[in-house]
Amino acid sequence: MARMTRKADLPTKICRTCGRPFAWRKKWERVWEEVRYCSERCRRAGPRAAQAGEGEA
């Protein structure tokens, strides 16, 4: 029988928009190398939102 994998053992990436870490998901199994964003909301916002926020201060 297959062993369960703990979420802590899954690979992670950093979202290009919000900068938060996110973990591998089963639906990304075939395209994990292409995944750049943690959510659909961040994907729609794109990297421009992160860059615009860095310039202010």
Asked whether residue 23 carries a pLDDT value surpassing 80, the answer given is yes
- Residue 29 inside a domain? The answer is yes
- Residue 49 inside a domain? The answer is yes
Domain that holds residue 36: 10-55
* Total tally of structural domains belonging to the chain: 1
Asked whether residue 56 carries a pLDDT value surpassing 60, the answer given is no
Whole-number mean pLDDT of the chain?
A: 85
The token pair at 16 is: 């290009």
- Residue 1 inside a domain? The answer is no
Beta-bridge partners for 13: 22
> Which stretch of DSSP H or E encloses residue 22?
strand 21-23
pTM of the prediction? Answer: 0.68
* Sequence-ordered alpha helix ranges (H) in 1-57: 40-55
